[in-house]
Structure 1
Amino acid sequence: MKKKFIILLTTAVMSFGVLAGCGSSAAETQGNVNTAESTNPSNDPNEKQDESPSTGETDTAEADTITVTDARGEVVIPANPERIVDLSGNSDILSVYGYTVIGTANSDAYDYTKFPSYLEDTLKDAKILGYSMQDTMDIEGILELEPDLIIISSVQEKMYEQLQEIAPTVMIELAQINWRDDINAFAKIMGKEDVASQWLADYDKKASDKGTEIKAAYGEETTYLAFLASGGQLYVFDAAGIGSVMYEDMGLAKPANMPAQDNISLPVISYEGLAELDPDYIFVAATEADMESLKQSSIYNSMRAVEDGNVVELPSSPYFNMGYSCIGREVFLAEFTGLMEQ
């Protein structure tokens, strides 16, 4: 498990989440147009010929496919894909746009054989093919699904040649930490810009309302800190994950001297550094073992928020990943009031 987190925390996140990308398709189909030769009933070579083609088979290739630009260039994909395999870890975004994936890599960070709880209903009919931070996936499983479109991120780039032989493959270059960029990148590829704009507007309204509610109940200047305890290390959620939901979306206050996050890796902080932040409320995500280890620290136990009982303990699954998913962010907003009251 520790090895998975080292990989995840240095390459991942929001995710999961955090996106713009194309290549050439090996599955492009073309319609045929049968144009009958014009005839000259009068047999007069000086008489103007009928230049309009006779009725024949309609060319449907242009209507059935579109050309998009991804991280590799241009690629022809179905205009209305019905059997999408998504390995990028953004099947939740596709569901917002009305697509149901048949294969996914949106598995739980702690157990690659299951979905995170907040995506169980959304992805219940999809086959898990791996985890989105893996650079290779189950090729045989993908073949069996007979997809008409495959979506990957640059993490799986070395699979690109293999995958494009199965179906048109789009490669998205995911944003480092700005999940909204990923929402819009997928919207551009799938021609869903209007849907994206409306979804983001609705989400921002929910987040703003929730922030107003929490600040009215707990104070405008109350500070909040969210971090992950894993393997004896403390990772701060600042510009990514559930931290960004609190600070950027809800507008809650963060402690002074927060370690800045400017790339995909979560900032690491010492126990002494944690104590110096001195937040009013702490949200800590951890496994049972990591939580027990954290509670053995005299520095942690002496923190004001801990002594006041202002600690929200969250299981690392699903809360580590939750803030990297657009659907997960909605779920976290809906749960926030209850978490504060527990």
Structure 2
Amino acid sequence: MKKNLSILFLAFLLSLVAAACGTNNNATSGTETASAEEKTTGNTETMTIEHQLGKTDITKSPKNVIVFDFGILDSLDKLGVNVLGVPQANIPHYLSKYEDVKYENVGSLKEPDFEKIHSLEPELIIISGRQAEAYEELSKIAPTIFMGVDTTDYLPSYKENMTLLGEIFSKESEVAEELSQVEESIKALKTKANASGKNALIILANEGNISAYGPGSRFGIIHDEFGLTPVDNGIEVSTHGQNVSFEYILEKNPDYLFVIDRGAAVEGESSAQSLLDNDIIKQINASKDGNIVYLDPNYWYLSGGGLISVSEMVKEIETSLE
């Protein structure tokens, strides 16, 4: 009898231990599940971006974005991404909606308003070449990334920038579709340009002065990607171009003369046409054949490198070849 009681008592103790162990296992499992959900829903997803000026950690799909590059601005506009602040002076006409008071004015392209930017508490600041010197100061305010286009490698650089924008703002599929269309249009233009057998010269008119641009330059996409043969392969590659004279243009005698009017972009007053209306320029092939083309400086000088601007640049050159 005593033996049976001992066995029953031992079985009772074992059942208590088993129940306790089962309860502890369930509690541990429940805690792990709660932590996993909290990590998924409570933590912000981040990215580390390596760019020309450094390495920057940013929040994905950031709010309160400030943009200093108009090519990036036109891309975000195309993608439907809201922007908090922009430099409102000299905004390209096709982005004039950003002059509205509902967008914050954060200074000029070369002189950011640091105090104003700080007060806005942005999550991301995007800059390019004109703001490079302000990078360190802007980085103290908020994560800042450089997204200027490398004109020596225009198309790959442009595609890389756009792809990165897609990743930052979770617009990958939209960007891929836009890039596909741009690439197809460039391919068609290049075929057309090669078939024409024509050469070209690109110049910037600025307050009575003329600068020439060739392959690998600021506007070299016309040669490097669009396929028009440069009339001079020896043009100095620099941001401001190579100073040239009317006599130089006559000597090179281009079939096409592409003109970018800085005054029209910055000051709102065109001077290029009156500057080139002279007896020397009238002697070149481009003038005789009606192929002096005044490109829209809003796309070529103020922005460029955007989903909208690059597409419009392709259209302008394609139209000029018709």
TM over 0.5, shorter chain: yes
Q: Match for 2:75 among 79, 93, 96?
A: 93
Query: Which residue does 1:312 correspond to in 2?
Result: 293
Q: Which residue of 2 aligns with 1:300?
A: 281
**Residues of 1 paired with 2:54 and 2:193: CA distance?**
46
- Structure 1 residue aligned with 2:229, among 230, 236, 253? 253
Distance 2:308 2:126 in 1: 19
Quote how far apart the aligned CAs of 1:159 are: 4.2
Give the letter aligned to residue 301 of structure 2.
F
Distance 1:142 1:187, change over 3 A: same
% same residue: 22
Matching residue within 251, 254, 271 for 2:246: 271
- The answer to whether structure 1 residue 129 and structure 2 residue 106 are counterparts is yes
Q: Could you say what secondary structure the match of 1:142 adopts?
A: helix
Within 1, Cα distance between the matches of 2:54 and 2:295?
A: 42
Q: Does 1:171 align with 2:145?
A: yes
* Cα displacement (A) at 1:95: 3.8
For residues 1-342 of structure 1, the aligned pairs below 5 Å read 49-50=24-25, 51-52=28-29, 54=31, 55=34, 58-60=38-40, 63-71=43-51, 74-89=55-70, 90-105=72-87, 113-120=89-96, 126-132=103-109, 134=110, 136-153=111-128, 156=131, 159-160=134-135, 162-164=137-139, 166-167=141-142, 169-172=143-146, 174-177=148-151, 178-180=153-155, 181-185=157-161, 187-188=163-164, 191=167, 195-212=174-191, 220-238=196-214, 239-240=216-217, 243-244=220-221, 246-255=222-231, 257-260=232-235, 262-286=237-261, 287=263, 288-296=270-278, 298-314=279-295, 316=297, 319-321=300-302, 323-336=304-317
* Offset, 1:116: 0.8
Give the Å deviation of 1:164: 4.5
Give the direction of change, closer, same or farther, for the CA distance of 1:325–1:275 in structure 2 (3 Å limit).
farther
Residue 101 of structure 1, CA deviation: 1.8
Report the Cα distance in structure 2 between the residues aligned to 1:285 and 1:64, rounded to whole angstroms.
45
Q: Distance in 2 between matches of 1:185 and 1:318?
A: 17
Distance 1:122 1:115 in 2: 8
The answer on whether the counterparts of 1:241 and 1:324 sit within 8 Å (CA) in structure 2 is no
Q: Is the 8 A contact 2:293 2:320 kept in 1?
A: yes
Deviation at 1:137, TM superposition (A): 0.4
CA deviation after TM superposition for structure 1 residue 68, in Å: 0.9
* Distance in 2 (alpha carbons) for counterparts of 1:104 and 1:303: 42
> Shift of residue 233 of structure 1?
2.6
- Which of the pair has more CA radius of gyration? 2
Question: Which letter maps to 2:259?
Answer: V
* Alpha-carbon contact 1:83-1:147 (below 8 Å) kept: yes
How far the C-alpha of 1:85 sits from its partner, in A, is 0.8
Cα displacement string for residues 321-341 of structure 1 (whole angstroms, at most 9, x for unaligned residues): 354544222123334455567
Is this contact kept in 1: 2:210–2:244, CA < 8 A? yes
Shifted more, 302-311 versus 312-321: the winner is 312-321
- Structure with the bigger percentage of helix: 2
User: 1:242, CA displacement in angstroms?
Assistant: 5.1
Return the alpha-carbon distance in structure 1 between the equivalents of residues 309 and 44 of structure 2. Answer: 33
- Coordinate RMSD, CA, aligned: 3.9
State the Cα deviation string for residues 92-135 of structure 1 (Å, max 9, x = none).
33345542322124x6xxxxx24212333588664443444x1x
Q: SS where residue 259 of structure 1 aligns?
A: coil
- CA drift of 1:210 comes to 4.0
Q: How many matched pairs? A: 285
Which 5+ residue runs of structure 1 have no aligned equivalent?
1-41, 108-112
Task: Quickly say closer, same or farther: Cα 1:81–1:220, change in 2 above 3 A.
Answer: same
Contact 2:76-2:82 within 8 A present in 1 as well: yes
Partners of 1:145 and 1:295 in 2: CA distance: 48
Letter in 1 for 2:230: K
Partners of 2:230 and 2:133 in 1: CA distance:
40
Alignment partner of 2:38: what SS? coil
Counterpart Cα distance in 2 of 1:154 and 1:337: 28
SS in 1 for 2:230: coil
